[in-house]
Amino acid sequence: MLNRISSSLRTRYVKYGGFAAVIAIGAIAAAILLNLIVQMISPQFDLSPNKVFSLSEQTLRVIEAVKEPAAIYGIWEPGGEEIRAKEIAERYAAKNRLIRFEAADPDLNPGLMKRFDRNGKGIPKGSLVVEGAKGFKVITPMDMYDVYYNQQQAPQVTGIAIEKRITAALLYAGAGETPAVYEITGHQEAPLAVQDALERENYALRQASLMQTPIPENAAGVILNNPKTPFAPAEAERLRDYLEGGGRLLALLDYRSGAAESLNDVLSGYGLRFDYGVVAELDPNYRFGGGSLFEFLPAMQAQDIVNPLIENKTPVFMPLSMGVSVSDIRRRTVKAVPFLASSDKSFLRTDLNSSAQEQLPADIPGPITLGIAAVDPEYPEDGKQTRIVLVGNAMFAELTAQIPGNLDFFMNALAWITDRPEVLSVGSRSTFMMPMSMNQLTALIIGLVFVVLIPLICFVLGLITWLRRRHL
């Protein structure tokens, strides 16, 4: 009996079967081991186009700079977590041991809720609270997303702003300071459409009348939003004195402004000016959805304000733009960098009474510069540096709710003039899909590939297969 069993175990089938069993057991063991290693390492790769699931380099630098304990509280009940907010907050805590994340049930922590409820209106469930050594900031669920409200349709989420809000709140909680930005009034300026965004980014927006008083000394920056009437000589002198003392100016003007010439007088010492007219774009690749000549997406050129937009491929929509320019005749200490421009096929229409669709002799041929950033001096010895941003468009700021890139551009420009590099690159992760555009060569290549090349390859493979089977 034992001999039979022994001889049967030496048969070819048993040997092959045993070998196969050993291989199977080894494969299962390897799979289990690999799974345990993966769970321990937890590798993650963000393959989303806008890196929605990754922290930006600027945020990582802000996290690294945290030297005092900070906390991020998730205000929700067990099982009612805001998953995306929770995941992003946990990434902050994982990068610096001084930052902790904690879920706080509002019903079980009334003392904590009372401490963070400044106005007595309550903290909405789903909020995040960022607390540091110098203060705290509440981020409500509505603040975590960029939302476009349209009367004809339901609200649409156009961007994820959780990281942007947490980073800004972390900076505020660590420093406890709110830069004051002054909006110049008295010239029929339109109210800024980004006041909520300014508050979320820790800016205090105030108003100043140059006719009554000089610009306050605590001004981190000044905004001119398309003034309709010119500056009086006394106002122009006060603005000039402010800039000469290291002031910061963000000027948004278009063809509707009546203050361009008086402002050009102030800017002449820096070689900067606004050029009256409306930019027409003949290149369909620049036009917004192939629409009007005067509604287009300008090209961006490397500069700190637009570098994050270039990196994230976030366009800026600027309809009815006016040109800006920099002269070679300026102080040698002034460095001016154009960063927005139309195409070579564009032109600046100077006669606004003309409805011609083609370029006229009086029009200025493109490319037309739409945005310039200037500093004076480039390397200050006493710490005082004048910073000026000119944008030949004011309407873009009215479209920040519809076009996420417009809001990011405005906030980046403000961060640049106020010298806040820590918030410059942390923008919303856009979920907004712009109309696709391609030039004629690209369209021709794609058409040839799908209409000619792919069918031809299929035909050739089919012919080869038929000929081989025919001779079997």
Q: Which residue has the tokens 């800024």?
A: 192
Please answer whether residues 346 and 432 qualify as being in contact, where contact means their C-beta atoms are separated by less than 8 angstroms.
no
pLDDT at 472: 54
Which residue in this structure is represented by tokens 């508050």?
199
Taking the CA atoms of 446, 447, 452 and 458 in sequence, report the sign of the dihedral they define: positive
Of 279, 317, 307, nearest in space to 413 by CA: 307
pLDDT of res. 181: 93
Fold exhibited by the domain 182-430: Rossmann fold (3.40.50)
Please tell me whether the overall predicted TM-score, pTM, comes out greater than 0.75 for this model: no
Annotate 111-160 with DSSP letters as a single string: HHHHHH-SSSS---TTEEEEE-SS-EEEE-GGGGEEEEEETTEEEEEEEE
pLDDT given for residue 47 in this prediction: 47
Give me 62's structure tokens.
């802000």
Q: Give kind and range of the element (H or E) at residue 46.
A: none
Domain ranges of the chain: 2-41, 51-177, 182-430, 442-472
Model pLDDT, residue 58:
75
Do the Cβ atoms of 324 and 274 come closer than 8 Å? Answer: yes
pLDDT score at 245: 92
Residue 274, class by beta-carbon neighbours within 10 Å (0-12 exposed, 13-18 middle, 19+ buried)?
A: buried
The predicted structure's pLDDT at residue 434 = 47
Q: Each residue's pLDDT tens digit in the chain (472 positions)?
A: 555 555 555 565 555 566 666 777 877 888 788 777 766 655 555 545 555 557 777 788 888 888 888 999 998 888 878 888 888 889 999 888 999 999 888 888 888 888 888 877 888 888 899 988 888 888 888 888 776 555 566 666 667 778 888 888 888 887 667 889 999 999 998 888 887 778 777 888 999 999 888 999 889 999 999 999 999 999 999 999 999 999 999 999 999 898 999 999 999 989 999 999 999 999 888 887 667 888 899 999 999 999 988 887 888 888 999 999 998 888 889 999 999 999 999 999 999 888 888 899 999 998 999 999 999 998 888 778 999 999 999 888 777 666 778 888 998 999 999 988 766 656 556 555 444 555 566 667 777 777 888 888 888 888 787 777 766 5
**Given this structure, which CATH class describes domain 51-177?**
alpha beta
Per-residue CA distances from 279 to 225, 271, 287, 342, 349 (Å): 19, 21, 12, 8, 6
